[in-house]
């Protein structure tokens, strides 16, 4: 991410005041807030950069900005999209995004990619693969936050969603690849989760990862064009059989497999219709709001336990004993219950402070 | 569980010294230890009762006994068995148990049933349904521990396994029904996990619960006798297709569906052969020992976090704020990150003690 000298950083996530040129003055929380609400893309980009920053001072400011914007969020639908590299997610997102902006929507394209690094970048949210959408004034593409754990990346993405919704983006697409638990994280921050697969040679489906099928609200079998069409339809049929044995991810909703050819633009509108039907049905039944409330509460729980684990791990007494006890437990030398007791006992005592 | 007056409590889990008749003197830890090691069924039963007790004094003693017996455990294979009521688990366990004891094994039959209560008893580990095995000197059937959470029941069962392995039981069967997370708990304490299903009218399979298929090392389609045989074979074929899309639960092992008729005794030996093949393969590859070590470490983690959650929930400051903050988060009024910070901050401060 290069800052071109002399140019105010644009919407490509350039670093903020601390490292940019002399024209950049630090912004106040209120300036960020007003900037986001105004719809200004540059200011929105700077706000997202602020959220993503790991610097302690920025985090305080970020929390202030987010707290102010929380009640200003507008209605939206959040859609998660996963699938192996090569499944055609970028092409699909570009096609879908274009149709949506043409219909007047404002579309944010985010990504959760824990393998993304400051130097290496990410394979997701790659504007070079979504060139048309990247130039679309109704769309905003943001690469994955970098650096650190999946939990950290997911947290920053969740917080960014607050900014985009306050800025009036009514469709939030969150892309991820099948790396570790990233699908589970994305699932927990979206309303609708879409799994993109490729048809294989026969009727088999490429790209199914254990645990992902069960959390999808729709399966899309992509590249169902030309010679691939028959294979895609056979694969879809096969897939319906599998889905029959799995409980639907969202109560009251049947997960269905759809064939599509994003490159040809075929089937993309149908899939969006599925998302809209889902939104309508779940809004009516209350499941939509219930799920969002549950996601927020689960996130709170997650943050609390993460914090507890951190406090626990950093407790001097615990840190000294833990590794040794874990090894003894693994070897069957001491009972897990006994080891846990000892550690919790050490933790519950206030640390001895030097007088 | 009645204590017949004047008779020393037998191996049916009768309550211990505190509530039994005058002939029962409290036992020391060493007496329990020696009793278990000797193979005496009555003393073994009393030791299990001690483990299951919720009384604080008993828990201290129990930990002492378990710690002493931990290094005295003998080699074993632990097999979890789940399936809906009516799938034929009891019949299967009786048939299998009988074959095993005839071959010289010592078989413990345990159960994890969180719905089990002191008054209502449990539908599992019901000796009236396994009459023959209940009278078999080479087998020991123990109903599920009662009272409380799944976590508590699972803990007591895990600890009982220590006793049985120290007493020389080389086959441990742990039964559960498809209630809540009980299969996940049992999966985490056994080497091999078996899912028992019934063939339905056509090719459909009854009793598949989301999340259970994926953790099974073998599927058994029961009651494949007489008219049911064709249905069972069709169901097995259908099932193989589903399994094809799921990753095997144990690395290096292919989960296969088998038809069996426990009532007729058909197929039971074959299934035991599968378990033995599994044990041989995974012992050789190291996966067997690796999994056990991992299970112990995971259990330690689980106990630690359970303990942390308890300490957290009981912290006066936290308890006062938590419900209110959770509601505000669910309603989207405050950020989950902000709420978590506040709670963790309150928790990390030592409670104010009255002077």
Q: What is the DSSP string of B303-349?
A: HHHHHHHHHHHH-HHHHHHHHHHHHHHHTTSS-HHHHHHHHHHHHHS
> What ipTM describes this predicted complex?
0.77
- pLDDT reading at A68 higher than 90: yes
Look at B241 and A241 and tell me if their CB atoms are within 8 Å: yes
Look at A307 and B339 and tell me if their CB atoms are within 8 Å: no
- pLDDT reading at A15 higher than 60: no
> Which letter does DSSP use for residue A118 in this model?
T
Whether the CB of A307 is below 8 Å from some CB of chain B: the reply is: yes
Contacts with B42 (C-beta within 8 Å, 6 or more apart), sequence order: B8, B9, B10, B11
> Which letter does DSSP use for residue A224 in this model?
-
Query: Rounded CA gap, A325 and A342, in Å?
Result: 9
pLDDT of residue B147: 66
- The alpha-carbon gap from B339 to the nearest alpha carbon of chain A, in Å, equals 7
Residues 82-141 in A contacting B (C-alpha not used; CB under 8 Å) = none
Question: Among B247, B330, B338, whose Cβ lies nearest the Cβ of A293?
Answer: B330
In chain A, which residues have their Cβ closer than 8 Å to the Cβ of B240? none
pLDDT of residue A120: 57
- pLDDT-wise least confident of A17-31, A227-241, B13-27, B208-222: B13-27
Query: Rounded CA gap, A192 and A322, in Å?
Result: 40
- pLDDT reading at A107 higher than 80: yes
pLDDT of residue A75: 95
Look at A155 and B337 and tell me if their CB atoms are within 8 Å: yes
Residue pair B172/B162 in contact by the 8 Å Cβ criterion: no
**Of B197 and A108, the one with more pLDDT:** A108
pLDDT of residue A157: 94
Q: What is the CATH number of domain A73-284?
A: 3.40.50.300
Q: What is the mean pLDDT of residues B109-137?
A: 77
β-pairing verdict for A192-199 and B171-176: unpaired
Look at B344 and A73 and tell me if their CB atoms are within 8 Å: no
**Of A252 and A300, the one with more pLDDT:** A300
Residues 205-234 in B contacting A (C-alpha not used; CB under 8 Å) = 205, 208-211, 213-214
Query: Rounded CA gap, A340 and A326, in Å?
Result: 9
Domain layout of chain B by residue ranges: 1-71, 73-284, 294-348
pLDDT > 90: what percent of chain A?
46
pLDDT of residue A313: 87
In chain B, which residues have their Cβ closer than 8 Å to the Cβ of A331? 293
Q: What is the mean pLDDT of residues B257-273?
A: 85
**Of B212 and A17, the one with more pLDDT:** B212
Chains A & B: contacts with CB separation below 8 Å: 150
Q: Confidence class of residue B138 from pLDDT cuts 50, 70 and 90?
A: very high
- pLDDT-wise least confident of A27-41, A165-179, B245-259, B323-337: B245-259
Query: Rounded CA gap, B221 and B230, in Å?
Result: 11
Whether the CB of B236 is below 8 Å from some CB of chain A: the reply is: no
pLDDT of residue A208: 62
pLDDT of residue B204: 56
pLDDT of residue B276: 96
Place of tokens 């095995």: B133
Whether the CB of B309 is below 8 Å from some CB of chain A: the reply is: yes
Phi (first) and psi of residue A136, to 5 degrees: -80, 120
Q: Confidence class of residue B18 from pLDDT cuts 50, 70 and 90?
A: very low
Query: Could you give the angle at the alpha carbon of A279 between the alpha carbons of A142 and A80, nearest 5°?
Result: 30
pLDDT of residue A344: 92
Q: In whole angstroms, how far apart are CA B306 and each of B30, B151, B300, B303, B310? A: 30, 9, 10, 5, 6
The CATH topology of domain A1-71 is 1.20.5
In chain A, which residues have their Cβ closer than 8 Å to the Cβ of B207? none
- pLDDT reading at B241 higher than 50: yes
Give the count of alpha carbons within 13 A of B341, CB side only.
Answer: 8
Look at A344 and B246 and tell me if their CB atoms are within 8 Å: no
pLDDT of residue B236: 80
Whether the CB of B321 is below 8 Å from some CB of chain A: the reply is: no
pLDDT of residue A126: 64
Q: Confidence class of residue B8 from pLDDT cuts 50, 70 and 90?
A: very low
Which chain B residue is nearest to residue A307, measuring alpha carbons?
B344
Task: Tell me the average pLDDT of chain B.
Answer: 83
For A200-227, the pLDDT digits (tens) are: 655 455 556 666 777 889 988 887 777 7
Q: What is the DSSP string of A266-335?
A: BSHHHHHHHHHHHHHHHHHHSHHHHHHHHHHHHHHHHHHHHHHHHHHHH-HHHHHHHHHHHHHHHTTSS-
Which chain B residue is nearest to residue A73, measuring alpha carbons?
B332
Q: Confidence class of residue B223 from pLDDT cuts 50, 70 and 90?
A: confident
**Of A7 and A282, the one with more pLDDT:** A282
CATH 2.60.40 fits B294-348, yes or no: no
In chain A, which residues have their Cβ closer than 8 Å to the Cβ of B304? 312, 340, 343-344
Whether the CB of B50 is below 8 Å from some CB of chain A: the reply is: no
Q: Is this model's pTM higher than 0.95 or not?
A: no
């Amino acid at each position: 991410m290069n800052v071109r000298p002399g140019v105010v950083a644009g919407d490509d996530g350039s670093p903020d005041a601390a490292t940019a040129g002399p024209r950049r003055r630090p912004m106040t929380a209120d300036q960020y807030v007003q900037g986001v609400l105004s719809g200004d893309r540059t200011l929105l980009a700077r706000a997202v950069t602020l959220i993503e920053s790991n610097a302690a001072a920025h985090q305080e400011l970020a929390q202030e900005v987010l707290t102010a914007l929380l009640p200003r969020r507008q209605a939206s639908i959040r859609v998660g999209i996963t699938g192996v590299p090569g499944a055609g997610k970028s092409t699909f997102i570009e096609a879908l995004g274009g149709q949506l902006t043409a219909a007047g929507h404002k579309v944010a394209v985010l990504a959760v990619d824990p393998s993304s690094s400051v130097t290496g970048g990410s394979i997701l949210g790659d504007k070079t693969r979504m060139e048309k959408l990247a130039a679309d004034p109704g769309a905003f593409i943001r690469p994955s936050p970098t650096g650190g754990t999946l939990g950290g990346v997911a947290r920053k993405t969740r917080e960014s969603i607050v900014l985009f919704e306050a800025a009036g983006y009514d469709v939030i697409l969150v892309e991820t690849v099948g790396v570790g638990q990233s699908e589970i994280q994305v699932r927990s921050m979206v309303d609708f989760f879409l799994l993109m697969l490729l048809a294989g040679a026969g009727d088999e489906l490429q790209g199914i990862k254990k645990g992902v099928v069960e959390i999808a609200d729709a399966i899309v079998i992509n590249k169902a064009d030309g010679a691939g069409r028959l294979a895609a339809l056979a694969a879809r049929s096969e897939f319906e059989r599998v889905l029959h044995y799995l409980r639907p991810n969202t109560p009251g909703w049947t997960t269905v497999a759809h064939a599509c050819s994003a490159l040809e633009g075929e089937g993309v509108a149908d899939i969006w219709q599925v998302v809209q039907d889902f939104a309508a049905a779940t809004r009516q039944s209350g499941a939509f709001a219930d799920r969002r409330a549950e996601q927020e509460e689960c996130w709170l729980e997650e943050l609390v336990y993460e914090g507890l684990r951190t406090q626990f791990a950093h407790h001097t007494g615990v840190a000294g004993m833990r590794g040794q006890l874990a090894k003894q437990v693994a070897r069957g030398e001491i009972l897990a219950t006994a080891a846990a007791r000892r550690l919790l006992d050490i933790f519950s005592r206030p640390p001895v402070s030097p007088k």
